[in-house]
Amino acid sequence: MDQKVAANGDMDLSPYRVFTEKEWARLRADTPMTLTAAEVAELQGLNDPMSMEQVEKIYLPLSRLLAYYAEATVSLHQATQNFLGLWDHKTPFIIGVAGSVSVGKSTTSRVLRALLGRWPASPKVDLITTDGFLYPNAVLEAEGIMHKKGFPESFDRPRLLKFLSDIKAGKRHVRAPVYSHFYYDVMPGHTVTVDNPDILIVEGLNVLQTRELPKDGRAVPFVSDFFDFSVYIDADEELLVNWYVERFMRLRETAFRDPSSYFHKYSRISDEEALQTAHQIWNDINLVNLRENILPTRPRADLILTKDASHRIAKVALRKI
């Protein structure tokens, strides 16, 4: 048992083991690199660079760790079903990826999906984002919470829980709604089908969110109850706001110029006005959501990946078992 004594004489009761990039990279062992430089370049998001070196030093060791977790979880499920005398479905291994707006959740999720899908057993790996489970803009406007889009109350939580419950129960052809960042809304009639994957990655702002427990002790499921492993992508607030503003300004020169874009109006204002707008959106919405709802869930993650100013993962914290 680890019982480090801090300088003040108190035991270090942190539930995490913390690794530098160099220390974590050693844990890759002989895990092969299965992605090319071109593939890594395609997986990275706007204003979220990902180098081959980072894939090798951070994500390959993580892929190796997840392989162990997935194998152990399958054995546990088999043992439970043997005990119950059941063998009726395959139970997918579900990974949750959480973190702030602009921290790089999507890039991390795509890289993990690509690596996990190339394990020797060739598992089927799917990826969904919880954005599709946002209430449509019309509902948010009617409820007067359009300014809280992305906050926990803006999501159709019962629908998301039903989706995850069906996935975990091994149901076939489970549909999830689709969200468009271009139109800034859920797309009516559009769905993506998840069909009995071996691994499912669920990416979203609030996937580790809890809520107040009922006094009568009734069962209240959380999204994270369906996760077998969870990752939180972390960065200082100063970095997050810079990355958000940089992305906003880059989008002004690209997607926002399309008249069909929800944000087209921002392509017609001056650079100074755009900067002020980006900072205002961050301060009034994203920063509030981060401080009130997202950051408090960080200690619930199994793994915390902390980024530095260059978007590199500089520190890895793994929950002790």
User: Is position 105 annotated in a ligand binding site?
Assistant: yes
- Tell me whether residue 103 is annotated as binding: yes
Whole-number Å distance between alpha carbons of 309 and 314 = 10
Q: Does 74 appear as a known binding residue? A: no
SS3 annotation, the chain: CCCCECCCCCECCCCEEEEEHHHHHHHHCCCCCCCCHHHHHHHCECCECCCHHHHHHHHHHHHHHHHHHHHHHHHHHHHHHHHHCCCCCCCCEEEEEEECCCCCHHHHHHHHHHHHCCCCCCCCEEEEEHHHHECCHHHHHHCCCHHHCCCHHHECHHHHHHHHHHHHCCCCCEEEEEEECCCCEEEEEEEEEECCCCEEEEECCCCCCCCCCCCCCCCCCCHHHHCCEEEEEECCHHHHHHHHHHHHHHHHCCHHHCCCCCCHHHHHCCHHHHHHHHHHHHHHHHHHHHHHHHHHHHHHCCEEEEECCCCCEEEEEEECC
State yes or no: 100 annotated in a binding site: yes
Alpha-carbon span 93 to 68, nearest angstrom: 12
Is residue 96 marked as binding?
Answer: no
Instruction: For CA atoms 133, 135, 136, 137, give the dihedral sign.
Output: negative
Q: Is 106 annotated as a binding residue?
A: yes
Q: Is 148 annotated as a binding residue?
A: no
- Cβ(91)–Cβ(72) under 8 Å? no
Say how many C-beta atoms besides its own lie within 10 A of residue 80's C-beta.
11
75 is in an annotated binding site: no
In terms of Cα–Cα distance, which of 253, 256, 246 is closest to 278? 246
| Residue numbers belonging to the annotated binding site | 99-106
| Residue numbers belonging to the annotated binding site for ATP | 99-106
